[in-house]
Amino acid sequence: MTCRAVRGAITVEENSAEAVESATRELLLSVVQANRIKIKDIVQVIFSVTVDLNAQFPAVAARKLGWQYVPMLCTYELDVLGSLRKCIRLLLTCHTRTPQNKIKHCYLGGAVVLRPDLVK
């Protein structure tokens, strides 16, 4: 097995705990399903949010999914003029046999504009 990283992002409609948790759950499930990742193979997850999202930590959604032993970090994105708003990003590192060029990165909702080359 090799250690690989998977990227993903999703936008939310509003800055509420429910919206952040729901979107994060959708993103996490999309990433693990698309790449057939088992929780025991996840090394870490780094979440970042835009500065307009402060109602909830994205990691709360992961904990509610049962990811009790996965190390996680939540941080803010740089507040760059003109950048996408109300966006949750993740960098998930895992052990996998999948080659790097076969990893499926997940960009959902308004976040598809971040990496349209990776969205099918």
Rounded Cα–Cα distance for residues 33 and 41 (Å): 13
Q: What is the dihedral of CA 112, 89, 98, 67, to 10 degrees?
A: -130
> Looking at the predicted structure, is the pLDDT value of residue 120 above 80?
no
Annotated catalytic residue within 14, 18, 36, 63: 63
- pLDDT tens for each residue of 21-76: 999 999 999 999 999 999 999 999 999 999 999 999 999 999 999 999 999 999 99
Residue 25 a catalytic site member? no
Pick the CATH number of 2-118 from 3.30.1330.40, 3.40.50.2000, 3.40.50.720, 3.30.310.50: 3.30.1330.40
> Looking at the predicted structure, is the pLDDT value of residue 15 above 80?
yes
- pLDDT tens for each residue of 90-104: 999 999 999 999 999
- At 119, the pLDDT band (50, 70, 90 cuts) reads confident
Is residue 107 a known part of a binding site? yes
| Residue that wins the pLDDT comparison between 120 and 29 | 29
Q: Are 90 and 8 within 8 A, CB to CB?
A: yes
pLDDT for the residue 114: 92
Residue 106 a catalytic site member? no
Kindly list the domain boundaries of the chain, sorted by start residue: 2-118
Q: Are 87 and 10 within 8 A, CB to CB?
A: yes
* H-helix segments, the chain: 17-35, 59-64
pLDDT for the residue 85: 97
pLDDT for the residue 56: 97
